[in-house]
Amino acid sequence: VDGVAAKWAADEPLRMIPAYADRLKRLRGFMFDVGLGDQLVSPASLAAMDAALTRAGVPHKYETFDGDHTNRVAARLATSVLPFFSKTLDFGDASRP
């Protein structure tokens, strides 16, 4: 259905970046990665998203790794994702309610 296909394309995250760049710039931390052998998410599409975010001036971190969509999830969380958010996000004094 042409109308559905057009709506789907218009709401594709890559195409939405210019319209939402100001909001994206307010994020405290934005990171994504992709396995170079990923069959679920195209590495080329995420490289294009990285480039679009860079052009829009949106601070972010983008990484690639050897493997597919589910390779080394625990290791990536421990060595990349959690350290990124620990460094990027400031929750203030955790002892205060």
The answer, yes or no, to whether residue 84 has pLDDT greater than 80, is yes
pLDDT tens column, 28-77: 888 999 999 999 999 999 999 999 999 999 999 999 999 999 988 999 99
What helix, strand, coil percent values describe the chain, rounded to 5? 50, 10, 40
- Higher-pLDDT residue of 78 and 91 is 78
Q: The whole model's pTM is what?
A: 0.80
Helix orientation angle between 13-24 and 43-55, rounded to the nearest 10 degrees: 30
